């Protein structure tokens, strides 16, 4: 990266280090595709609100005991490089960071965190499918769309696109789970392909008895050749198992044949486990959950309705909710009315209410808006995966609030005897399916209003006790005692920090300094290789490369003294610090010495800018005119406005 960018990232690193509680509070740091991930010893002293305002940061949140700062794809790599170097943690990997974070979590938290991690990576695909499905459902209800050849064709393509994404969701889950648990992602894809192979009978058709299922006999076990469409639990289990098998065979197989034999054994053993143990167990677990919920609605009256609609979205997490289509079809054939559809619909909108509740609680967080708004829109069209996996399940208490709201909506469905005359769409487009008998359309709206309000209110209530996002604080880590000043003076002076010729920042031969990207100030062309304290104060930090030092006066005014241009490339060569981070220093005290001649011979400019990096709006900066600089020369005066 060029020097101007690096210097900007250095300023970000300095500020972030201070805002998270200093170097001593950082346990580990790594990054993913878009986020800088930091594990802290104590999250409570991190100022999250202030971090949101850091240059280039697009948002910050705490997930799984990691402080995650969103910078965006590409940019996060460069910020991480400088931040990790600044905190001497550059060789830490994302898996190392997860290990550190997991040490602070209980087993249940680890399971939820792992589940969240799996779905976060594939969230863009889920969101695309959700919006396409909703759009297709709405367009399909308009007669002019059905009557127009072009519009009908476009809607069919939209429907095919969304169906394809959801149809291959188990493959994506197997891939992401394998990656999350340390295996090679391509092997997760391979297992996902096996799960959805067209050589197997379609799972939905098999459940309805419309296809013939082949049975193999392996080790005395009857193995049905049925695909795993909708088998999210199976895909999660297989992703985990595939990762463990991959790591096991990579260690055990001799290196000379590892490239060929290790993936072969992982795939073969994984496939055998899929069809003989994990597949049947996963199907049994999912079917048990589904059948229990249906039994409750049929045998427990209002309580059964409430439990079904309260817990139905937990079934969506398993991916087995697609099985309800066959049950709904049978209900319509037997009774002409489908009570499951409105129960699922209120369960869905209640999770949307939970999303809105979380959004209100964290409305100042840019990342929260990015997640919540599109997730809620998809909920309106009956798709909750983005809301569930992107927000509610990740932060725990919203999923509970949504389930309670769903239960309340289920009570209303029971009391109004609400049912549908079809199946396949819910929430906004689902109103077209409501049985109009006994004010069915009005009751549909009322039930949904109760559910969304319940999810919204319960999320706010639970958030008061369960939201673990640290409250923003201005508290800073304990530093060596500094003389306390009761009142900021009207005028604060900063003196010469090096001997030589003082010049204006605009005259520095570097775009970053010249354009005051890191802050306004003054610069000096040094006549000797020494840097002194410009005022009484303390050392905030010294860069590991020793070419820059951060200083704060006793009145809290912060500065950055940067020795040379591009001198970070010297990696500390020719620089000798004479103070340490946290030291209290006096005006004129020697801070750093450097070999001016050797640095110049290496081809670097030795100009030394001094910048005011965190300058408050209520103060005014007055820079002295260019001229000779000594340790007694007044270089900058800070006035109260």
Distance CA 638, CA 623 (A): 9
Cβ count near 82 (within 10 Å): 23
Residues 6+ positions from 273 with CB-CB distance below 8 Å: 238, 241
Q: Say whether 562 is catalytic.
A: yes
**Region for residue 295 given its phi and psi (left: phi exceeds 0; alpha: psi -120 to 50; beta: otherwise):** alpha
CA dihedral 253, 257, 260, 266 (to 10 degrees): -10
Beta partners for 639? Answer: 491, 620
Do residues 89 and 26 make contact, with C-beta atoms less than 8 angstroms apart?
Answer: yes
Distance CA 155, CA 150 (A): 9
Distance CA 398, CA 404 (A): 10
- Out of 31, 193, 562, 578, the active site residue is 562
Which residue bears the tokens 């950055």?
Answer: 560
Provide the 8-state DSSP code for 291: H
- Out of 32, 193, 362, 578, the active site residue is 32
Task: Name the 3-class secondary structure at 197.
Answer: coil
* CA distances in angstroms from 487 to 24, 185, 476, 574, 616, listed in the order given: 30, 59, 19, 40, 16
E strand or H helix at 222, and its extent? strand 221-224
Do residues 186 and 270 make contact, with C-beta atoms less than 8 angstroms apart?
Answer: no
Distance CA 639, CA 488 (A): 10
Do residues 546 and 576 make contact, with C-beta atoms less than 8 angstroms apart?
Answer: yes
Residue 518, CA atoms < 13 Å, CB-side half-sphere:
33
H helices of 196-323, in order, are 203-208, 232-252, 255-273, 279-299, 301-318
Question: Which among 345, 350, 352 is positioned nearest to 422, based on CA atoms?
Answer: 345
Cβ count near 327 (within 10 Å): 16
Task: Name the 3-class secondary structure at 371.
Answer: helix
Q: Say whether 321 is catalytic.
A: no
H helices of 60-142, in order, are 75-86, 94-102, 107-121, 123-139
Question: Which among 51, 83, 55 is positioned nearest to 68, based on CA atoms?
Answer: 51
CA angle (159, 161, 162) in 5-degree steps: 70
Question: Which among 77, 114, 76 is positioned nearest to 95, based on CA atoms?
Answer: 114
Q: Tell how far CA 25 is from the center of its chain.
A: 21
Distance CA 566, CA 603 (A): 10
CA angle (300, 380, 306) in 5-degree steps: 10
Give the strand pairing for 59-63 and 590-594.
Answer: unpaired
What is the number of residues in the chain? 641
Q: Is 154 exposed, middle or buried (0-12, 13-18, 19+ CB in 10 A)?
A: middle
Query: Which residues carry out catalysis?
Result: 32, 562
């Amino acid at each position: 990266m060029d020097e101007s960018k690096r210097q900007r990232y250095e300023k970000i690193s300095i500020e972030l280090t201070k805002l998270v509680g200093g170097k001593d509070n950082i346990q580990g740091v790594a990054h993913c595709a878009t986020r800088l991930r930091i594990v802290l010893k104590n999250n409570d002293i991190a100022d999250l609100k202030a971090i949101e305002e850091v240059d280039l940061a697009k948002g910050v949140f705490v997930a799984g005991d990691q402080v995650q700062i969103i910078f965006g794809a590409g940019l996060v790599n460069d910020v991480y490089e400088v931040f990790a170097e600044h905190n001497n943690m550059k060789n830490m990997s994302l898996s190392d960071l997860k290990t550190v974070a997991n040490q602070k979590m209980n087993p249940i938290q680890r399971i939820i965190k792992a589940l969240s991690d799996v779905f976060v990576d594939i969230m863009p695909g889920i969101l695309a499918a959700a919006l396409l499905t909703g759009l297709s459902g709405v367009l399909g209800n308009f007669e002019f769309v059905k009557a127009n050849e072009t519009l009908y064709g476009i809607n069919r393509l939209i429907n095919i696109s969304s169906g394809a994404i959801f149809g291959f969701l188990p493959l994506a889950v197997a891939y992401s789970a394998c990656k999350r648990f340390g295996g090679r992602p391509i092997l997760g894809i391979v297992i996902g392909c096996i799960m959805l192979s067209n050589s197997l009978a379609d799972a939905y058709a098999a459940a309805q008895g419309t296809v013939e299922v082949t049975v193999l006999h392996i080790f005395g076990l009857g193995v049905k050749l049925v695909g795993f469409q909708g088998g999210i639990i199976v895909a999660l289990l297989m992703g985990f198992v595939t990762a463990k098998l991959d790591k096991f065979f990579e260690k055990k197989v001799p290196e000379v044949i590892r490239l060929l034999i290790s993936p072969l054994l992982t795939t073969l053993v994984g496939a055998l486990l899929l069809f003989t143990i994990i597949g049947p167990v996963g199907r049994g677990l999912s079917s048990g959950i589904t059948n229990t919920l249906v039994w409750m609605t049929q045998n427990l009256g209002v309580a059964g309705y409430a439990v079904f609609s309260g817990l139905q979205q937990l079934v969506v997490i398993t991916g087995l909710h697609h099985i309800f289509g066959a049950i709904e079809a049978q209900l319509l054939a037997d009774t002409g009315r489908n009570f499951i559809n409105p129960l699922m619909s209120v369960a869905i909108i209640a999770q949307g209410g939970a999303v809105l509740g979380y959004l209100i609680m964290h409305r100042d967080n840019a990342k929260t808006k990015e997640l919540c708004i599109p997730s809620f829109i998809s909920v309106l069209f009956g798709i909750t995966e983005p809301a569930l996996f992107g927000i509610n399940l990740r932060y725990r208490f919203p999923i509970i609030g949504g389930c309670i709201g769903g239960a309340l909506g289920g009570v209303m469905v029971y009391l109004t005897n609400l049912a549908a005359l079809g199946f396949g769409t819910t929430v906004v487009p689902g109103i077209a399916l409501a049985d109009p008998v006994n004010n069915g359309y009005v009751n549909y709206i009322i039930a949904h209003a109760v559910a969304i309000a319940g999810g919204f209110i319960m999320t706010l209530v639970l958030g008061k006790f369960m939201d673990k996002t640290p409250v923003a604080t201005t508290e800073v880590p304990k530093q060596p005692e500094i003389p306390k000043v009761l009142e900021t003076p009207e005028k604060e002076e900063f003196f010469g920090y090096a001997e030589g010729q003082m010049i204006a920042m605009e005259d520095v031969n570097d775009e970053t300094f010249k354009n005051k990207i890191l802050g306004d100030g003054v610069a000096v062309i040094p006549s000797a290789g020494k840097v002194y304290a410009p005022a009484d104060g303390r050392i905030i930090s010294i860069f590991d490369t020793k070419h820059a030092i951060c200083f704060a006066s006793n009145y809290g005014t912060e500065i950055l003294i940067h020795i040379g241009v591009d001198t970070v490339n010297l990696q500390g060569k020719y620089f000798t610090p004479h103070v340490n981070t946290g030291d209290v220093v006096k005006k004129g005290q020697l801070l750093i010495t450097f070999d001016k001649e050797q640095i110049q011979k290496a081809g670097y400019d030795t100009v030394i800018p001094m910048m005011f990096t965190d300058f408050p709006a209520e103060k005014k900066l007055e820079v002295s005119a260019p001229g000779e600089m000594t340790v007694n020369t007044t270089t900058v005066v800070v006035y109260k406005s």
